[in-house]
Copies of this chain bind each other. A is one copy, B any other.
Amino acid sequence: MRIFVILPILRNEVFEDITRRELEVAKRKDTEIYVVSLDEGPASIESAYDEELAAPWILERVKEAEDKGFDAIIIDCMGDPALHAAREIVNIPVIGPCQASLSIASMICDRFSVITVLDRLLPLFRRKIREYGFEDKLSSVRSVEVPVLELEKKREEVKARLLSEAKKALEVDGAEAIILGCTGMVGMAKELQENLKVPVIDPAVASIKMAEILVDMGISQSKRGYPKPPEKLRIL
Q: Using a CB–CB distance below 8 Å, which chain A residues touch chain B?
A: 10, 26, 28-30, 39-44, 46-53, 55-56, 59, 82, 84-85, 87-89, 93, 95, 99-100, 102-104, 106-111, 118, 120, 123-124, 126-127, 130-137, 147, 149, 170, 175-177, 190, 193, 197-202, 205-206, 209-210, 212-214, 216-227, 229-230, 232-236
Q: Chain B: which residue is nearest A108 at the CB level?
A: B221
A100–B106 alpha-carbon span in the complex (Å): 9
Q: Which residue in B10, B41, B133 is a CB contact (below 8 Å) of A106?
A: B133
> Can you name 14 A-B pairs with beta carbons within 8 Å?
A10-B235, A28-B30, A46-B232, A49-B85, A49-B88, A50-B229, A52-B56, A107-B214, A110-B225, A123-B224, A133-B134, A133-B137, A177-B222, A202-B217
A126–B107 alpha-carbon span in the complex (Å): 16
